[in-house]
Chain A
Amino acid sequence: MHIVVCIKQVPDSAQIRVHPVTNTIMRQGVPAIVNPYDLFALEEALRLKDRHGGRVTVLTMGPPQAEDALRKCLTFGADEAILVTDRAFAGADTLATSYALAAAIRNIDRDAAVDLVFTGKQTIDGDTAQVGPGIAKRLDLQLLTYVSRVEQVDIAQRRLRVQRRAEGGVQVLETRLPCLITMLEGTNEMRFASMDNMFRAARCAVRIWDREAAGISDVSKIGLKGSPTVVSKVFAPQARARRAELIEAEGDAPRDLALTLINKLFTRNPKLRDAIVAQPS
């Protein structure tokens, strides 16, 4: 089985700041990490490889330093890493990104047929959750979003069953291969790389594809040119002037806590009490 995992290098959003003067996002000095959902996707792919054999290729489109993110994925046990990088890709929105990634996956597929593509549910910097579906559509793959676990794969029958988180519960869905899965935070913990894998990753050559190597001829579909989306403004939300309030309760019992809260609500909003009291019990 050949699995492609799309990963994106993102700034660690826990450490990102908005420039107090210009209101732009300050990326300088903010450590870059692999988008967390993509690591769950990788873990799921590696588990399938452990069970069924085959190989895992990690793919990213980004600036040259995104190679660090790929190398990180190699340490966990990915077999091969491809960095699609070219000035022509700069300024891509989700439409142009999924176009470029789809082209790269088509290229990979020519080498060795791809059975399964993983992406994260969404990134923590762009947050659109559109790239996965965009790739699936372009490559005509079955699409399963918000997956928390791949239950089983039947390679002979070319079928796969997953758990998908949905409002109010979990759906168990089945589809045929090839397909694309977008992963939630999985239920499986990330593995701790062995020393051998650390060595392999440090020595493994990441394949670098520019636009042509990625098999893209139409430059109007990529980068800024291929991006109809315009980010017109980025701003930091204003801190609210209203303060949180610490409410002291009389006792610890659930009843006391509930009463304290209800009293609080009623004193704040007498009409609410009237309305509730007026209701027939």
Chain B
Amino acid sequence: MAEKFDAIVVGAGPSGNAAAYTLARGGLKVLQIERGEYPGSKNVQGAILYADALERIIPDFREDAPLERHVIEQRMWMLDDSSYIGTHYRSADFDQPPYNRYTIIRAEFDKWFARKVRQAGALLITETTVRDLLLDGERVIGVQTDREGGAIYADVVVLADGVNSLLARKAGFRPELNPADVALAVKEIHFLPTETIEARFNLSGDAGVVIEMFGKITQGMMGTGFLYTNKESLTIGVGCMLSDFKSQKMTPSQLLENMKSHPSIAPLIAGGEMKEYAAHLIPEGGYNAVPKIAGEGWVIVGDSGMFVNAVHREGSNLAMTSGRLAAETLLELAQARLPYTARNLARYRRKLDESFVMKDLKKYRRLPSVFHRNPQFFTAYPELLSQAAQTLLRVDGEDKKSKERAIRRSFVARRSRFGLLGDAFKMWRAFE
């Protein structure tokens, strides 16, 4: 006989785990289905974990979560072919518990989170793929898995199935992915002895450094690169819009290989042994790409709802927060004995609108199109700035005033006076 649950959560990434955990703690009978061999086996992230979002779900997560290093230093690099120019911010305040950001290894982290979900009382079934949503007219009444006897029923289905969200697309809840709305990212984990990492990045204990990069490493495509320190390894990766890879006929692995040989980066990873290679999509369409996220008997959480703040490389925290808010909405309705109709579930969207999730996405809503139409931000400016720094710093008998004039001229020559003004305005609009 087919089983019936209060809620089925599809996917065991951060969003699905946050939802399943909250629902199970709230006393619902929850089934979570994950197609990977174990939670995390298929998941890819840099990865920075933002403590706040998790703390609101599991306040004492620091006691046993598999955390690599807490971040005490953030570097922002703008790179041309031979240099970087940028800022480093290191603060002893970030070295004071409770720490705010950690590097993590997703395979380990997701496994830990899933264990918490099980302990909270949800039933987790792995190595099982949800093929279709079961519908009664408009209303979702369960899921069809790929196993014999695979139809399972529930009052509500939480779609936490990640950026591809085949299910939402199949059911027509979400349009096809637009290649200009998703980034394709690749990353590698390189093993290095702890002592080497500490020496190279001036670290001790569990403190860590993250480097965010942009500029010519993406060869004119819209994207960013990153390098994070783990306990015994470094994570390095790069991602660009899928549409750019397509039009430039460039492969992400080529791009990463080039980036790894950049003179500013190569020495940081030298001697490492590659442990892992992974590629994954990131939904970066922003505010305007967010689909309908709730309907008759269903809600969408996490990447599946396009909740990623690409500017700050925040995704997992938006995923967890949307998962939690969706679950809280469902619990409220359950308590009030209200059905999971599209109308009642609209509360979930309101909660999201009031949270940092939608507020941040809204703030940067123009950014994707601005950067997309203006590749100069990734090519011309890093070069100009690097040249400017070099002109100023190279002592060669030329006076400083002439140097400044030369710098000014180089900017105008490359972008024209109006171009510069326009670019400044665009930047302001994008980040406003």
Interface residues of A (CB under 8 A from B): 17, 20-21, 26, 28-29, 31, 68, 75, 192-196, 198-199, 202-203
Cross-interface CB contact of B108 among A17, A29, A196, cutoff 8 Å: A29
* A198 cross-chain contacts in B, Cβ below 8 A: 125, 128, 147
Interface size on B, residues (CB 8 A): 23
B152, A195: Cβ atoms closer than 8 Å: yes
Select from chain A the residue with minimum beta-carbon distance to B125: A198
Partner of B147, one of A28, A194, A202: A194
- Known contacts being A29-B105, A31-B37, A202-B124, is A193 close to B193, with CB within 8 Å? no
The 10 nearest A-B residue pairs measured at CB: A194-B148, A195-B149, A195-B147, A198-B125, A195-B150, A194-B149, A21-B193, A202-B123, A196-B149, A20-B273
Asked if B58 CB lies within 8 Å of chain A CBs, one says no
- Distance (Å) between the CB of A49 and the closest chain B CB? 17
What B residues does A199 contact at CB under 8 A?
3, 123, 125
Task: Tell me the complex Cα distance, A75–B193, Å.
Answer: 39
> Which of A17, A194, A196 gathers most chain B CB within 10 Å?
A196
How far in angstroms is the closest Cβ of chain A from B67? 14
Complex CA gap A17/B189 in Å reads 13
In Å, the complex CA distance between A193 and B147 comes to 7
Tell yes or no: B191 within 8 A of A by CB. yes
Given A199-B3, A202-B123: A31 touches B147 (CB 8 Å cut-off): no
- Residues in chain A near residue B128, CB distance under 8 A: 195, 198
CB-CB < 8 A to A31: which residues of B?
A: 37-38, 41, 107
Residues of B within 8 A of A29 (CB): 105, 107-108, 275
Given A17-B191, A31-B37, residue A195 in contact with residue B273 (CB < 8 A): no
Do A195 and B148 form a contact, CB below 8 Å, given A29-B275, A203-B123?
A: yes
Given contacts A195-B147, A195-B150, 18 further A-B contacts (CB under 8 A): A17-B273, A20-B273, A29-B107, A29-B275, A31-B37, A193-B147, A194-B148, A194-B149, A195-B128, A195-B145, A195-B148, A195-B149, A196-B149, A198-B125, A199-B3, A199-B123, A202-B124, A202-B125
Q: Which residues of B contact A193 (CB under 8 A)?
A: 147
Q: Can you list 6 A-B contacts with CB-CB less than 8 angstroms, sorted by A residue number?
A: A20-B273, A29-B107, A31-B38, A31-B41, A195-B128, A195-B148
The docked-state distance in angstroms from the alpha carbon of A21 to that of B273 is 11
CB-defined contacts of B150 to chain A, threshold 8 Å: 195
Q: Output the nearest chain A residue to B123 by Cβ-Cβ distance.
A: A202
* Chain B residues closer than 8 Å to A28, beta-carbon distance: 232
Please, how many angstroms separate the alpha-carbon atoms of A232 and B128 in the complex? 43
Binding site for A on B (CB under 8 A): 3, 37-38, 41, 105, 107-108, 123-125, 127-128, 145, 147-150, 152, 191, 193, 232, 273, 275
> Looking at chain B's contact residues, is the secondary structure mostly helix, strand, loop, or mixed?
loop
For B37, the closest partner residue in chain A by CB is A31
Q: How far is the CA of A198 from the CA of B150 in the complex (A)?
A: 10
A28 and B111 CA atoms in complex are apart in Å by 14
A15 to B305, CA, bound (A): 33
Q: Could you say which residues of chain B place their CB within 8 Å of the CB of A68?
A: 38
Measured in the bound complex, the distance between the Cα atoms of B275 and A179 in whole Å is 43
B38: which A residues are within 8 A, CB to CB?
31, 68
A194 to chain B: which residues have CB within 8 Å?
Answer: 147-149
Query: Known contacts A31-B37, A202-B124, A202-B125: does B275 contact A17 (CB below 8 Å)?
Result: yes
Q: Nearest Cβ distance between residue A50 and chain B, in whole angstroms? A: 15
Question: Which residue on A lies nearest to B189, using beta carbons?
Answer: A29
- List A contacts of B41 (CB < 8 A): 31
User: Distance (Å) between the CB of A239 and the closest chain B CB?
Assistant: 13
Q: Which residues of A contact B152 (CB under 8 A)?
A: 195
A196 vs B145: C-alpha distance when bound (angstroms): 12
Query: Measured between alpha carbons, how far is A219 from B23 in the docked complex, in Å?
Result: 46
Nearest B residue (CB) for A202: B123
Instruction: Report A-chain residues with C-beta under 8 Å of the C-beta of B145.
Output: 195
A192 to B128, CA, bound (A): 10
Residues of B within 8 A of A192 (CB): 147-148
Q: How distant is the Cα of A203 from the Cα of B273 in the complex, in angstroms?
A: 41
Across the two chains, which residue of chain B brings its CB closest to A201? B125
CB-CB < 8 A to B124: which residues of A? Answer: 202
B136 to chain A minimum Cβ distance, whole angstroms, is: 20
Cβ–Cβ < 8 Å partners of B3 in chain A: 199
Residues in A whose Cβ lies below 8 Å from that of B275? 17, 29
Chain A min CB distance to B70 (Å): 19
Least distance between B198 CB and chain A CB atoms (Å): 14
- Residues of A within 8 Å of B232, CB to CB, are 28
For the complex, give the distance between the alpha carbons of A199 and B125 in Å: 7
Residue of A nearest to B272 (CB): A20
- Cα-based distance from A28 to B191 in the complex (angstroms): 11
Question: Chain B: which residue is nearest A28 at the CB level?
Answer: B232
* Least CB separation from B107: chain A residue: A29
Chain A residues, CB < 8 A from B193: 20-21
In the bound assembly, the distance between CA atoms of A199 and B3 in angstroms comes to 9
Q: Which residues of B contact A196 (CB under 8 A)?
A: 149
